[in-house]
Amino acid sequence: MPRAKLKPSEPAVPPARGVKAATFKLLVDTAMELIQHSGHIPSVAELAVRSGVSRATAYRYFPSRSALITTVIDASLGPVRQLAADSRGGRERVHELFKSTFPRFKEFEPQLRAAAQLALEQWALERAGLLEEEPYRRGHRIRILDHAIAPLAPSLPRPVRDRLHKALSVIYGIEAYVILKDIWGVGDRELEKTVLWMADSLIDAAVREARQSPRLAASSLHKV
């Protein structure tokens, strides 16, 4: 029986202004820099020392590494998480999403890798009953990709659309970067071309399957 989807973690809401806002920004910027240079997510206590604030203050904003990395990743990917209204077709929207995300992945690769590492670490601890903090839940890509493929919805039977949605979520993330860079040793340009080729192949496969479905009117396929 499939597991229910878990709601992804939400970042801390920064204070609007004043000393609290400045302290919040200092903590996030310090965490970003530490991860950028070491690939390591600092403990909240370590972050406090590096930022020059008290532990109590740091824990007030970020009670755990999960809370900290959630905010760090939101700072890294915030612009591509905004869902602007768009009249383009599904394929074009998917391309635009991937192309707008590539620079963010390149710039914040250490932070994204660290987040994936924490999620795997916490999965093992949670499975063993040893996790002592609220886990860091990933999954914002579900909402982002749902928006991207929305123009394809009228052209695809629901099962086909859901399969496409899941398949695109596999390549829209740091996981594809890890495989292509670490295992294949490809550069950024070839990586981007390969990921876009995979996205196009998945869309093409969904369209072919839809054309074979008796429930789909052929006239709707022009929306792809």
What are the pLDDT digits (tens) for 131-187? 999 999 999 999 999 999 999 999 999 999 999 999 999 999 999 999 999 999 999
Does pTM surpass 0.85? yes
Q: Which DSSP state fits 131? A: -
Q: CA geometry: angle at 11 spanning 6 and 17, to 5°?
A: 160
| Alpha carbons 165 and 203: distance in angstroms, whole number | 10
> What's the pLDDT band for 218 if we cut at 50, 70, 90?
very low
Residue 34 Cα to chain centre, angstroms? 20
> What's the pLDDT band for 27 if we cut at 50, 70, 90?
very high
- Name the range with the highest mean pLDDT among 15-19, 80-84, 179-183, 210-214: 179-183
Contact 195, 126 (CB under 8 A): no
Let me know if 168 is exposed, middle or buried by CB neighbors in 10 A (0-12, 13-18, 19+). Answer: buried
Question: What is the percent of the chain with per-residue pLDDT over 90, rounded to a whole number?
Answer: 80
- Residue 221 pLDDT greater than 90, yes or no: no
pLDDT at 222: 47
Architecture of domain 13-63: Orthogonal Bundle (1.10)
pLDDT at 217: 45
Which ranges in the chain are annotated with CATH 1.10.10.60? 13-63
Let me know if 60 is exposed, middle or buried by CB neighbors in 10 A (0-12, 13-18, 19+). Answer: middle
**Closest to 160 measured CA to CA, from 216, 198, 93, 86:** 216
> What's the pLDDT band for 1 if we cut at 50, 70, 90?
very low
Find the largest Cα–Cα distance for the chain.
65
What are the pLDDT digits (tens) for 56-96? 999 999 999 999 999 999 999 988 887 666 667 889 999 99
